[in-house]
Amino acid sequence: MFDQVVFAGGGNRCWWQAGFWDVVQPELKLRPRVITSISAGAATACMLYTNHSEWVMDYYSHVLRDNSKNAYWGNLLRSESVFPHYRIYRQALLDIYGDRFQTLKAAPEIRIGVSHLPRWLGARSAVAAGLIAYNIEKYVRKKLHPTLGQALGFHPEFVKAQECATVEDLADLILQSSSTPPFTPILRRQGRPVLDGGMVDNVPVGALDASPGLVLVMVTRVYPRPQMFMVEHGEHGKHRDQRRVYVQPSRKVPISSWDYTSPALMRPAYDLGRADGEQFLMRLPDVLSAAAQH
């Protein structure tokens, strides 16, 4: 049914996507040709084609059981990393994909986005500017598809997961797509500093093919829009034959993006996705029918 799918970023909130997908995919027998993704949305998309959500939730419960803080300020005195996220996240990606890495060859083409920095700014200045723009878009403008990052000169690059030769390469690519100082260091791709793909657009519809058909767009934040809505897309003046079905959580996902101290909250986030997936299946025929009448 859906030829292409979008996994927005959102850190731990992407557990909502996993729950939603685990209900909707088998019911609709989804076999998308292309997936576009950002940050933890990319990690989730790859997980869904290499492992099982239940196993991964158990994994995080185990590895995070002794992590009591999101910041260890005492590490400043020892010249060690204050934030444990990068170390835990990278090892988790290696463990989750691990021996199943080769199964990605049979998965849809998964496009993973990173943001390249403006050429007129140094790395540190670009990080500061990007984070300010990101938070203005998130908390003030609340735009579904932000524009400030691109206006500043951030520009995207999308790399196929299947182009990664090893699981280490894939882990590095996802971390580059998730690069959000101070939780991660400033990461580099082919020698160039990059930031979280969400600096350009956290809902990466720009990486979709322009082909006609239905697109499923899963966001992880609650926007001032209907929970489920459709956008027709096409070049100005031409028949708009690509229809994008957006779905967002029915309420705020009950876990913070970078909280590595509360693995028990992954389950409620996942369960909310499952519940919203059930509602989506019930409402989808009416949405498609209404769109067909226009």
Which residues are catalytic, by number? 39, 196
> 96: buried, middle or exposed (CB in 10 Å: 19+, 13-18, 0-12)?
buried
Give yes or no for a contact between 219 and 247, defined as CB atoms under 8 angstroms apart. yes
CA distances from 167 to 3, 102, 126, 197, 255 (A): 26, 9, 29, 20, 27
- What is the Cα gyration radius of the chain? 19
Distance, in Å, from the CA atom of 52 to the CA atom of 84, rounded to the nearest integer, reads: 25
154: Cβ contacts below 8 Å, ≥ 6 apart: 115, 116, 117, 118, 126, 130, 195, 199, 200
φ, ψ of residue 115 in degrees (nearest 5):
-110, 120
Distance, in Å, from the CA atom of 90 to the CA atom of 71, rounded to the nearest integer, reads: 17
Query: What tokens does 60 get?
Result: 């995080």
- At residue 230's C-alpha, the angle toward residues 229 and 234, to 5°, is 155
Residue of 212, 213, 282 whose CA lies nearest to 247: 282
